[in-house]
Structures are given as C-alpha cells and as structure tokens.
Amino acid sequence: MKMFDNFRVLLIGANGQVGKSFIKIAKKHGFKLLAISRDEWDLTITKNYSDFEKILINFNPDVLINAAAYTNVDRAEIDQDEAYAVNYISVEKMAEFSAAMSTPFIHISTDYVFDGEKNQPYTEDDRCNPLNIYGKSKFLGDQAVIKKNPRHIIIRTSWVFSEYGKNFPKTIINAIKSNQNLSVISDQVGGPTSAICISKAIIEFLRKICIGESIEWGIYNFSGYPNVSWYEFALEVESIAKRVNDNVKISIDKISSSESNFSKTSRPKNTTLDNSKITQTIMVKPCQWKKELKDLIERKLI
C-alpha cells in the first residue's frame, strides 16, 4: 500500500508547467487526485466561483493546491483585469473556501513580488515591492492566502522551466534550431527552477500533512541553484545543446536591460531567493537546475 493511498488532492492549474509536472509525479505516489484545468474552471469569470466551491465540497480534498497563474508579464500590463482575476481574486476565493472546510492550501507564488534592489538573496521576511502588474497581482494573492487561510503554504519560486508550455530554455532551443542569433539580458539575476523540482517539494509538504507531522505554515522560498543571469542561463542551454548536437552554431550576445527592445515592462534586477528555510525545516534542497535542464535537452523534451 502506498503512503498516499486515499489521500485526496485537488489541483487547480492542471495545464500549466507546475500542474502538468505535478500530475506526472503524483501518479507514482497513489494520490486520489482531481486536477482542474481552465476548461473546467475559468478563473477569470467571477460567476464561476460558486462552481469551484461545489467542486471543493463534493471532492472534499485533504489538501488544495493552486498552480494556476497569469504569467505573461508584458501582457498583464494590458490585460490587468484578467491578471488580477487569476492571480488575486480567484486565489482569495480558494483560500476562503478551503479555510471554511479546514483544508490546507498550497499556493505557488513568484520572485517578482520583490523589486530587485537588494544585493543579496531575498528571504521570506523581506519586504515586497513589486514593479509590474504581474508582480502586484501575485503579491495580493499571497496576502489573501495569508489572511484567509491560516493553514497555508506559499511557495515562492522563480524562472520556471519544464517540458511543457512556453519557457526560456524552449525559446533558446527554438532559436538554435532556426540558426537565429540572440541578444540576451545579462543584468537580471535569478534562480532557474525546474517544475519537476517544485513538484517534488510539494510532495514533501504533502507527505508531512498526510502523516500528521508538525508543519510550520507560511511562506517558503524554493528556487534553483546556482543563481545566474538570463544570459548565463542561455549559454548553459546552448552548451548542453552543442554536446547533444555539434551542428549548433549560433551567437549569443549579452545586453543590458536598458539596451533591450524585448520589453518595456519593468522587471527586478535581482530575484535570487534564499532557500535556507525550506532546506532546514522541510529538508528540501535547492533545485539543481543544470542537471534538470541537461536531462530535458538530452531526452529532447525541450
């Protein structure tokens, strides 16, 4: 009998990078998993919140996980109502409804709640000061979780990549395939994080909840190591791709944020995260993203 047999998990955001990665891992652990996609619950439509409440009541999960998010940083500046609906208002409803059922709530957040002005990695206690609508909407979502459901785990992560959806390594791989030279920003630094690593961290929280082990509710940073710039991240993708295919011949140049025409949306320069809390209290080590990236590229999953 598996540890998680009959342990009921309700996952929101089944089609996202973290959602799909979690589903892939969860199958190995014997959860009774109900995964909800946008087709089944559109978070942007307020009248649908009652539908979610019915799902929650009928399934009666042991844990609710929210991996859904509006993550298009540039588009959020235009589609502000949609960004706030997904990242804030719907999250507030999830927290409120789950609290009413005494259900623990695990919510995935972001490094973009910070302004990037700190010269060291951010801790869970550092002041938030988001620079853009995406960051502001996620910050408000975090605050709603904290206010509405005391039994919460907020996992702040960064630069997520996986075999699914759109992400930075896939952009670089597509450029390599089309022999397209690139200019990549070198003065924004963070920790690339595999969605599989995030899913494994979630599993560890679930294990503790499942066996009734004492757990410290609150915010946890979880990101990849070592920290790099987007430019260094791109070079690592190129390096691995060259080992797989020696025909790779593109040029990747570095530029500053001010020189880039890629986006006019303000982004934090430093979003490195201090992982000490999750390492010490949950015994989850930072994601070794180079190893995860190598595996995905070698298996041609990105």
Write out the catalytic residue numbers: 134
**How many whole angstroms separate alpha carbon 107 and alpha carbon 279?**
18
CA atoms within 13 A on the CB side of 17: 24
**How many whole angstroms separate alpha carbon 69 and alpha carbon 53?**
19
How distant, in Å, are the alpha carbons of 61, 237, 249 from that of 246? 49, 13, 8
Length of the chain: 302
What 3 state SS string does the chain have?
Answer: CCCCCCCEEEEECCCCHHHHHHHHHHCCCCCEEEEECCCCCCCCCHHHHHHHHHHHHHHCCCEEEECCCCCCHHHHCCCHHHHHHHHHHHHHHHHHHHHHCCCCEEEEEEHHHCCCCCCCCECCCCCCCCCCHHHHHHHHHHHHHHHHCCCEEEEEECCEECCCCCCHHHHHHHHHHCCCCEEEECCCEECCEEHHHHHHHHHHHHHHHHCCCCCCCEEEECCEECCEEHHHHHHHHHHHHHHHCCCCCCCEEEECHHHCCCCCCCCCCECCECCHHHHHHCCCCCEEHHHHHHHHHHCCCC
